[in-house]
Chains A and B, each alone.
Chain A
Amino acid sequence: MSNVSKVLMLLAALSLSLLFFFPMWKIYLEAPQYPEGLEMHIWVNKLGGNTEYTLQNFNILNHYIGMEKINADSFAELKYMPYIVYFLIGSGIIVAFLNKRSLALTWLIMLIVGGAAGLLDFYLWLVKFGTNLDPKAPIKVPGMTYIPPFLGEKQLLNFKALSLPDIGGLAIGLAILLAAIAVYIEFIYRKKRYANKLQAA
């Protein structure tokens, strides 16, 4: 592999560490009586918010519509996802130092599959929480479900919900982009240049 590709792979691996410093995803809620807004932050290893009490306040508001309590302990993902990220960072660094472009491609595929699985998992949770409502809920609107938006904006009763990836989530995209450039260089760009060189010769 070229030095450029090695540096790209190294940066790709290291950018994943941003997942431990920033949330992956943020869900913003706004309502007339919440001018200051409520933000739920989804991390690779925890759930949080813009204040330390956000989760409790989400749950208080959600209990009126019969939504199940959102509790970090009920997500096994939050326990094993960090290990997947550690593995990807570690293996990415190793790949950067090994001269094997096939390993770089393998790493990129693992990352894409991991990221896609994460997004799918996130979506399924949103559907589960939004539809699995207590039949004894005090507020029941016929036909209404409360699936928060996966990406973008949605009105849920008095709340305007906005869902966007945050720096952690964008870091996965960045890692994919960097690794993909490295793979492109190794498999297509260098091959083309080699072919051009041959032709010139």
Chain B
Amino acid sequence: MDPRSTFKKLLPAAAFVAALAAMPVLQSCSKTDNKATGGATGSALSSDAASAVYVAPGKHDEYYSFLSGGFSGQVAVYGLPSGRLLKVIPVFSQNPENGYGYNENTKPMLNTSFGFVPWDDLHHPKLSRANETTDGRWLFVNGNNTPRIARIDLKTFETVEIVEIPNSAGNHCSPYPTNNNEYVVAGTRFSVPVTPEGKLQDVSLKEYKDKFRGTISFLKVDKDHGDMNLDFQIMVPGFDYDLANGGKGPSSDWIFFTSYNTEKAGTLKEVGASQNDKDYLLCVNWKLAAKYAAEGKAREIPANYAHNKMNHETNQATSTMKKSVKILLPEECPDMLYLIPVPKSPHGVDIDPSGENIVISGKLASVIPVHSFSKMQTAIKNKDYIGDINGIPVLKYESVLQAEVKEPGLGPLHTEFDGKGNAYSSMFVSSEVVKWSLKDFKVKDRIPVYYSIGHLMIPGGDTKNPSSKYLLAMNKITKDRYLPTGPELAQAGQLIDISGEKMKMLLDFPLIGEPHYAQAIAAEKIAPNSAKMYKLDANKHPYATKKEADTKVVKNGNRVDVYMTAIRSHLTPDNIEGIEVGNEVYFHVTNLEQDWDVPHGFAVMGAQNAELLIMPGATNTFKWVPTKTGVFPFYCTDFCSALHQEMQGYARVSPKGSNVPIAFSTGEKRKAPSQP
């Protein structure tokens, strides 16, 4: 090793240690500032900040932003620039607020090969794309813990599809779309002992280096309906694959993944994975990979993974277990994969709007390297390799380097771009956003953020058409930023004006969960298509009841089906008898309303379940197994009308084996139907 590289190796480590040591000092300094100025950003705040983010009552925001909820397993939708929370969309986590994952309709959405998994760690939202820019049709998100990719339909803001990713663990560098949404890709962060035959082995943990592998999965996306299908996987060396991004313009055929732990440490990774001076950027020619897969180079191996879909007509999710997957081995697929050495333990890989500059944010690096796509192509043509790993050529760092951004700050994590030739990098350790130019690769401005920023986001900042107006910083630590709420504190979003030479802090607002990343899109691309209700006529739920005259209660053995309707302001039937302890009672409640913003809720005393929240025109199913005899009130939980408090009823539960006949009514008594 030459002395220069030894120096390079030591420099970032030294800087990092210095930063860690300085952190408490810096923070206590800023704390003093708080008291002096009456606000932590008092000095940084421009005087017109309030008017810049003020959206008058009744007016709409300019952008929708979608922030991942991290360990909440949900997506939060905020309006920008106001920072107002518009909706929380449940994806991988059960949501008692609307019954997602609790009611019979949506339970299959959370099915996996491990069984029902009611939670996940949701990291990265990515909007669907058309013509190389965001189109506002769908939002793709990943579940990191139990590898899954979900699709949210932005007409309804509901999760409509979840695909489990087999042969993977720690599904972190996901779900990155190719430039025109041909594929959404997912990669492994925690390599696992998976064989080329698709077996997850029970091996000694000491065998990490030999047996552990990662995979990169390619989910094909239907152009019209968005349905995902796991087309093929590529088996890759057992590193930790961290983040990804697709190329654009000239680099559209490629997708890039950062990796760390190229040392293949299986324990104490904070040390073991930080030994090599350089880790790798994995460059995948996905067009070629898709061609190889289509040509039959992929071998079909056994697998077992869930593919869950919500059917909009029946409002009923189904879960199908898929039994095989196609897999490509790099050694059989020339020219498909290349590795570029990058400063160790990189996080974000971000491609500028031109598609030429590939920016690597290495959290332990002292510089931000920018690689050149055209130089990479030349290096590939000239076979300018320094070796290979598992048959994957390793390109020479210097040959593909465009420039290094010097002294950017400490702990660069992630970079996005504006439409004026600037890049903005988040600095986790030095807690700041740094603006630098893609023309001369020099730092132009920096602004402190509070505290420890992870990702940042500019609307369209990961596409060829970025906005040049706002940047959202997502901060991990808030400490003294808001009124204290005990040991558990919210994380923060900070909106920064990037329209001028100097960045200006505009707004600071608490967020749900842990937002790892976000997307934003002009409101007019989504708002006009937002559904107001479901059409009752089009409701094909097998237990839908479309008029009150058709409501009924049917008992068949231990199962009781209640065909119920809800309309302002009564439930039909609202008097039910003949239920016995231990019966499986299914309330299929149809909301007969066909008006905007009139959901009805449904809950039963003592039910070991959440509530239902039923949108106009939809049918949802609630399961109740009564454990006691007595009379059990049920009621509408969503304040629907002036007579909402009256929207209630009673179910009588008799002892097991009693002869109370099924009877049901609302208002006037009706005769019970003959038993089937």
Spell out A's residues near B (CB within 8 Å): 36, 52-53, 56-57, 60, 64, 138-139
Contacts and interface: CB of A to CB of B under 8 A. Distances in A.
Given A138-B643, A139-B642, A60 B568 contact: yes
B643 A64 contact: yes
Given A60-B567, A60-B568, A53 B643 contact: no
B54 interface: no
B593 A60 contact: yes
14 contacts: A36-B596, A52-B594, A53-B594, A56-B594, A56-B595, A57-B594, A60-B568, A60-B593, A64-B641, A64-B642, A138-B569, A138-B642, A138-B646, A139-B642
A53 B595 contact: yes
Contacts of A53: 594-595
A52 B568 CA distance: 18
A57 B642 contact: no
Nearest to B643: A138
Contacts of A138: 569, 642-643, 646
Contacts of B596: 36
Nearest to B533: A53
A53 B616 CA distance: 12
Contacts of B643: 64, 138
Contacts, number: 20
Interface string B564-590: 000111000000000000000000000
Contacts of B593: 60
A30 to B, nearest CB: 15
B668 to A, nearest CB: 12
A141 to B, nearest CB: 13
Interface of B: 567-569, 593-596, 641-643, 646
Nearest to A60: B568
A138 B646 CA distance: 10
A60 B641 CA distance: 10
Nearest to B597: A33
Nearest to A52: B594
Contacts of A36: 596
A80 B593 CA distance: 32
Given A52-B594, A57-B595, A138-B569, 10 more contacts: A36-B596, A53-B594, A53-B595, A56-B594, A56-B595, A60-B567, A60-B568, A60-B593, A60-B595, A138-B646
Which of A36, A56, A60 neighbours the largest number of chain B CB atoms within 10 Å of its CB? A60
A151 B443 CA distance: 70
Contacts of B594: 52-53, 56-57
B344 to A, nearest CB: 57
A79 to B, nearest CB: 24
B644 to A, nearest CB: 12
Contacts of A139: 642
A138 B647 CA distance: 13
B377 to A, nearest CB: 55
B511 to A, nearest CB: 30
A36 B532 CA distance: 12
A59 to B, nearest CB: 10
A138 B593 CA distance: 19
List 3 A-B pairs, minimum CB-CB distance, nearest first.
A53-B594, A57-B595, A60-B568
B567 to A, nearest CB: 7
A102 to B, nearest CB: 53
Contacts of B595: 53, 56-57, 60
A41 to B, nearest CB: 16
Nearest to B593: A60
A194 to B, nearest CB: 64
Nearest to B537: A52
Contacts of A52: 594
A138 B569 CA distance: 10
B535 to A, nearest CB: 9
Nearest to B617: A53
Contacts of A64: 641-643
A138 B596 CA distance: 23
A139 B595 CA distance: 21
A126 to B, nearest CB: 23
Contacts of B641: 64
A57 B567 CA distance: 11
Contacts of B646: 138
A118 B379 CA distance: 86
A36 B594 CA distance: 15
B356 to A, nearest CB: 48
A157 to B, nearest CB: 11
A154 B642 CA distance: 22
B144 to A, nearest CB: 41
B97 to A, nearest CB: 22
Nearest to B567: A60
Contacts of A57: 594-595
A138 B643 CA distance: 8
Nearest to A53: B594
B235 to A, nearest CB: 54
Nearest to A56: B594
A12 B569 CA distance: 49
A168 to B, nearest CB: 25
Nearest to B616: A53
B634 to A, nearest CB: 20
Nearest to B642: A64
A53 B642 CA distance: 21
B33 to A, nearest CB: 45
A52 B642 CA distance: 24
Nearest to A63: B568
Nearest to A38: B595
B648 to A, nearest CB: 14
Nearest to A33: B597
A95 to B, nearest CB: 45
A139 B569 CA distance: 13
A98 B283 CA distance: 87
B530 to A, nearest CB: 14
A60 B642 CA distance: 12
A109 to B, nearest CB: 44
Contacts of A56: 594-595
